Amino acid sequence: MCGDSGGRMAHRSYAHGRHGRRDRGAKAPAPPAGRRSDRGANTLELALLTPILLLVILFVVQFAMVFHARHVALAAAQAAARVAREQRTGDWQSAARSEGVEYVNKIGPQLLTKVEAVPDGDANQRGVTVGGYAVPVVPFFKFHVSEHSGGPIECYRPDVGTGETCADPP
């Protein structure tokens, strides 16, 4: 309410009533000429950013699954290498290979797929490499995981003499 020059009180109409509430029939004020309204901008931004945000979340989960699969592969390689290092005679390669695959199946058969254990070694050292594919979370991406563990063959080596290698027992 404001006074005009005639001494009469002019009544001004507001979109919001006396108490700050919007009147039912009143329309929102139009934007100034030459400017567009921002109505619906938040909805559009949300519609554009939601797929990107979901993809980022999926990649974070995928990274966690690959990281966990690496730990499982390393634990399986260590168990298989332990078997390979302890067996001095016989078919240590097939024993190590089966131990690596069985260990992955015990821990989490769904974490690594297409698991293979590849033993290697010489007269003093033996090791096993366990590899496979991590669980796919992000579509169209495959992550190969491979870990190696090895060490010296477990045997008695005398301090003196020609005890440099582990010879086959008599």
CB neighbours of 72 closer than 8 A, spacing ≥ 6? 104, 107, 108, 111, 112
The answer as to whether 21 is a domain residue is: no
CB-based contact 143:64 (threshold 8 Å): no
Q: Kindly report, residue by residue over 37-49, the tens digit of the pLDDT.
A: 677 677 878 888 8
Q: Is residue 30 part of a domain?
A: no
Exposed (0-12), middle (13-18) or buried (19+): which is 88, by Cβ within 10 Å?
middle
Give dist(CA 83, CA 101) in Å, integer. 13
Burial of 136 (0-12, 13-18, 19+ CB in 10 A): middle
Q: Is residue 132 part of a domain?
A: yes
What dihedral do alpha carbons 71, 79, 92, 115 form, nearest 10°? -30
33-47, 92-106, 121-135: range with lowest mean pLDDT: 33-47
State yes or no: pLDDT of 140 exceeds 70.
yes
Bridge partners of 143, per DSSP, are none
Report yes or no on 34 lying in a domain.
Answer: no
- Within-domain flag for 162: no
Q: What is the CA radius of gyration of the chain?
A: 36
Q: What is the pLDDT of residue 76?
A: 94
| Structural domains counted in the chain | 1
Tens digits of residue pLDDT in 21-32: 655 666 766 666
**Which of 95, 97, 77 is closest to 147 using CA atoms?**
77
Residue 122 is part of a domain; what is its CATH number? 3.30.1300
Which residue segment(s) compose the domain that 109 sits in? 41-152
- Alpha-carbon distance of 111 to 130, in angstroms, equals 13
105, pLDDT greater than 60: yes
Whether 101 maps to a domain, the answer reads yes
> What is the side-by-side strand order in the sheet with 112-121?
112-121, 125-134, 144-152
